[in-house]
Amino acid sequence: MNRPYTFINVAMTADGKIDTFERKGSAISSRQDKQRVDELRASADGILVGGKTLLDEQPKLTVKSEALREGRILRGLSPNPIKVGVATVADIPLESDFIKTGNARVVIFTTSQTSISQIEILRAHGVEVFVHDAPRVDLNKMMLTLKKIGVDHLMVEGGGTMNFELMRLGLVDELMIYVAPMIFGGANAPTLADGLGLMRSDAIALKLQTIEPHEDGGILLRYKL
C-alpha cells in the first residue's frame, strides 16, 4: 500500500454528535475509553486532525501515559507519534499546544493561501510545512507524503469534515466509534461525518468487526471500510 494504514477514532453521543453546538471540545469519552485512546495513540506513527480541530481546539495529540511513552522509546521510537495538521490557511499560533506540547515531530499540510511569512515562521520553529498549490489540501497527495516520511499507521482524530473527506476518498481502512450514553442534540452540532454528504446510492459501506460494551453504559464499535 502506498499510503498509511488509516483508522478513524471518534467518541460520539448516542445521537451521533462529537461535540455540542458550542463546539468547544466537550468531553464524551469515559475513563475506560480514554485509556483505550491513549493506547491507540501509542501504537500509531502519526495522529491527524483537520483545520477546525487544529485551530479551534489546539489539541496536544500526545501520549498521556508515561509507561506507554517509555514503551515507544524502548521500541526505538519517539515518545509521541508525529502530529499531523491539515488546514487550508495554517494561521496556527506558535503557543498552540499542537506545536509546543510534548516531544514530537510536527507536520502541517496547507495551501498557498497561507502567507509566506507564516510558513517561514512555522518552519523556523521546527514545524515541517508542506504547501499544496490548490484551493484545498490534496488528501491523496498528503497520504503519499506521510508514507514517505515514515507514517505506516495513521490515527485520525477528526473533525467531522476531515473524517468524511477521508472516507469519501477511500483513504480509511478502519473506523472505531465509542458511543457514549448521552444525548447532545442540536441541528448544528458536529457529527462523526460532516462535509457535503452523499446520496443514498453513494453511501459508504461499513463491515462490523466487534461490539464491546463498556462499564459506563457506552459501547465501542469497530468497523472495516
pLDDT computed for residue 24 by the predictor: 85
pLDDT computed for residue 57 by the predictor: 85
Q: How many residues would you count in the chain?
A: 225
For 31, the enclosing helix (H) or strand (E) is helix 31-43
Q: Assign residue 57 a region: left if phi > 0, alpha if psi is -120 to 50, beta otherwise? A: alpha
DSSP 17: B
Beta-sheet strands, E only, within 32-167: 46-49, 82-86, 106-111, 128-132, 153-156
Could you count the other beta carbons within 10 Å of the beta carbon of residue 115?
A: 12
pLDDT computed for residue 45 by the predictor: 98
Long-range interactions of 126-133: CB distance < 8 A, separation 24+: 127/99, 129/90
Which residues, other chains included, contact 125 with Cβ-Cβ below 8 Å and sequence gap of 6+? 94, 99
Alpha carbon distance 204, 114 (integer Å): 32
Q: Could you report the per-residue pLDDT of 101-144, keeping only the tens digit for each? A: 999 999 999 999 999 999 999 999 999 999 999 999 999 999 99
Q: Could you report the per-residue pLDDT of 7-25, keeping only the tens digit for each? A: 999 999 999 999 999 988 8
Number of domains in the chain: 1
Alpha carbon distance 108, 90 (integer Å): 8
Q: In CATH, what number is assigned to the domain containing residue 170?
A: 3.40.430.10
pLDDT computed for residue 223 by the predictor: 98
pLDDT computed for residue 195 by the predictor: 92
Burial environment of residue 147 by CB neighbours within 10 A (0 to 12, 13 to 18, 19 or more):
middle
Alpha carbon distance 67, 119 (integer Å): 35
Q: Could you report the per-residue pLDDT of 56-79, keeping only the tens digit for each? A: 888 999 999 999 999 999 999 999
* 97: containing domain: 5-224
Q: Could you report the per-residue pLDDT of 20-57, keeping only the tens digit for each? A: 999 888 899 999 999 999 999 999 999 999 998 888 88
Is the pLDDT at 178 greater than 90, yes or no? yes
Identify which of 99, 43, 30, 32 has the alpha carbon closest to the alpha carbon of residue 69: 43
